[in-house]
Structure 1
Amino acid sequence: MTRAPEEFEVPVPGGGLAVLRWPADAPDAPVVVALHGITANGLSWARVAHHLAGRVTLVAPDLRGRGRSGRLPGPYGIAAHADDTAALVDALGLGPVVLTGHSMGAFTAALTAVRHPHLPAALLLVDGGVGFPVPAAVDPDALITSVIGPAMRRLSMTFPDRDAYRAFWRGHPAFADSWSPWADAYIQRDLVGTEPELRSSCALEAVRADGVDQLREEVSGAVHRLPGPAVLLWAERGLMDEPQGLYDEQRLAAAGLDPRLVRTRPVPGTNHYTILVGDEGARAVARHLLAAADVPGPGEPATVPSR
């Protein structure tokens, strides 16, 4: 595994936002700010950090209501995460950064770019960020529950010890063939409390609010209002490793993306989780981040400049 990240807090409304940082080998290297999914935490980016191999600095917060930012109060919502991200960049004195996000984090990254257009030098969306119209008759809370119901149910569960939580996740279809020390460290960071009543750090209220928020046009439509170009990486398979992923060529065509603004790229052999925490997925994400930062990989020339 790569070296352990630094951990610190930055001030945001209501308290301190917990942040992980994997420093680059060179002090003047580009910076990537990486935003996690709806029930995840910043350590979900550890395997990507491994493949970045110190060529850029990777900064990954635990978003409000998750991980070690779990006690930050509401109001929740994607706009709150976007403004927390901007506060993080300002607190660290960073210039324009490469901005990326996975799942809900991709929606947050897109809205951050819209609300704070000075912030991103480049934008990479990972299996998220592109929304679809919701019929008026559909209850948003019911729709979110149908999509992430298993994840939300986990938030109400307790576990007698860390091995039990590990066993829960190892039995998850998305992780069945790709368990690793990175995945284990990421899921263990989620636990709070004491044995025999360990539970997820994620605030259910935050997860519900953020999930419903992704259906609002301000958030789901942010990808159509980006201040500059972006790349979307999408997984072939879904949250439970089912054959239908969140996106496919037909769904993306129906989304009406401007190809001059958003380029889409499949990542074969990945599901919604392994596109980030699996080896091949993390390698692909790292490769695109390095290209966005105009930093060559091992033995590769720089090819894709940031804006």
Structure 2
Amino acid sequence: MERTVTAVSEGYRTLDVPVRGGRLRVGVWGPEDAGAPTILAVHGVTASHRAWPMVAAALPGVRVIAPDLRGRGRSAHLPGPYGMPQHADDLAAVLDALGVRRTVVVGHSMGAFVSAVFAHRHADRVRSLVLIDGGLPLAAPPGLTGDALVRAILGPAAERLAMTFPDRASYRAFWRAHPAFGEGWNDTMAQYVDYDLEGVEPELHPATAYAAVEEDTAELHSGPSLVAALDGLVHPTVFLRAPRGLMDEPPGLYSPDQVTVWSGRLPVLRAVEVDDVNHYTIIMSDHGVDAVTAEIRQALAASGEPVGAVGGRGAEHPAEVHP
């Protein structure tokens, strides 16, 4: 299929990449030049590629490639099985479609776990990892499975997936009342929540497939992929911790002691705490984005060669790009 491009806004376009079961939606910001510095940005468990505009805007000259993971956003229609290995293989398909051989991989929340597993399954595609408030094992109450496990870990974030909203204004109001979003509400957050809705008024609903969240959560906590990825971690990795969590509560998803333990276990891991942010605002506030992009720039500089180019090879699996 011949590739065509339609710009949605300056520096931003979307495309669909062939993967198992259909096509995966991908957002791209920045230069068209395949030789430009490039990062692969991977969103969280109920999010979408629209979590990344502020990070992309703070990285002029860098190509930011950000998929909607299987079961989320405009990739919500894609079938299971889900799980970290499947998401990792989907990321490899995205890089193939865009002609990217190796890149810096940046993951937020569940996207950090996906990124770690991607680095294990496709080690030759990764230069280094930037893990943002995710990617290290999370403590979960013992004995829980299925829906109970999802709710124990995600709380209201999981409950939201079963809700319906009469219009977009109602969904914005829901998020503006959220403790993690309210005080710092901005245009990026508004666009993020608008993109998250599917359906027809008055029965709009979040795009994320609950089955994907449930299966991903179970695989992440009981499957072998994360353990193997961390045991085999060889790429330079930075972990950025948010001191407040999903509901803006301290101490966040990770305690300082947890991070210290894992820093001691993983020689390639360097930990950074980003003060005065929560799990969301670490990538959706000016202060959080400044800290995140400083680490991304450092990772790009340390790569030692142009990022994202595939000399003369072109895309292995052409992407379909659309309005």
TM-score, scaled relative to structure 1: 0.91
Letter in 1 for 2:179: P
Indicate the structure whose relative CO is greater, using CA pairs within 8 Å and at least 6 residues apart. 2
Aligned equivalents of 1:79, 1:141: Cα separation in 2: 21
Matches within 5 A, 1:109-124: 109-124=115-130
Of 79, 83, 89, which residue of structure 1 is paired with 2:95? 89
Equivalent residue, structure 2, for 1:22: 29
Matches within 5 A, 1:223-234: 223-234=230-241
Aligned equivalents of 1:158, 1:137: Cα separation in 2: 31
Equivalent residue, structure 1, for 2:300: 293
The alignment covers a number of residue pairs equal to 296
Aligned equivalents of 1:90, 1:266: Cα separation in 2: 34
Establish whether residue 220 from structure 1 lines up as the match of residue 226 from structure 2: yes
Structure 1 residue 143: Cα displacement = 3.2
Structure 1 residue 276: Cα displacement = 1.1
Aligned equivalents of 2:62, 2:238: Cα separation in 1: 18
Structure 1 residue 24: Cα displacement = 2.7
Equivalent residue, structure 1, for 2:187: 181
Structure 1 residue 248: Cα displacement = 2.7
Letter in 2 for 1:283: D
Please list every run of 5 or more consecutive structure 1 residues that lacks an aligned counterpart in the other structure.
295-303
Please list every run of 5 or more consecutive structure 2 residues that lacks an aligned counterpart in the other structure.
1-8, 306-323
Establish whether residue 105 from structure 1 lines up as the match of residue 111 from structure 2: yes
Structure 1 residue 122: Cα displacement = 1.3
Which has the higher mean CA deviation after the structures are superposed, 134-143 or 249-258?
134-143
Letter in 2 for 1:127: D
Equivalent residue, structure 2, for 1:300: none
CA contact (8 A) 2:179 2:248 kept: yes
User: Secondary structure at 1:33's aligned position in 2?
Assistant: strand
Matches within 5 A, 1:18-97: 18-24=25-31, 28-53=35-60, 55-97=61-103
Letter in 2 for 1:148: L
Runs of 4+ displaced beyond 4 Å = 132-136
Aligned equivalents of 2:148, 2:251: Cα separation in 1: 20
Structure 1 residue 151: Cα displacement = 1.1
CA displacement 1:236-290 (0-9 Å, x = unmatched): 1011000111113211233464352110100001000001111211121112111
CA contact (8 A) 1:141 1:212 kept: no
Aligned equivalents of 2:271, 2:304: Cα separation in 1: 17
CA contact (8 A) 2:150 2:213 kept: no
Letter in 2 for 1:111: V
Aligned equivalents of 1:225, 1:156: Cα separation in 2: 37
TM-score, scaled relative to structure 2: 0.87
Structure 1 residue 90: Cα displacement = 1.1
Establish whether residue 10 from structure 1 lines up as the match of residue 5 from structure 2: no
Establish whether residue 235 from structure 1 lines up as the match of residue 242 from structure 2: yes
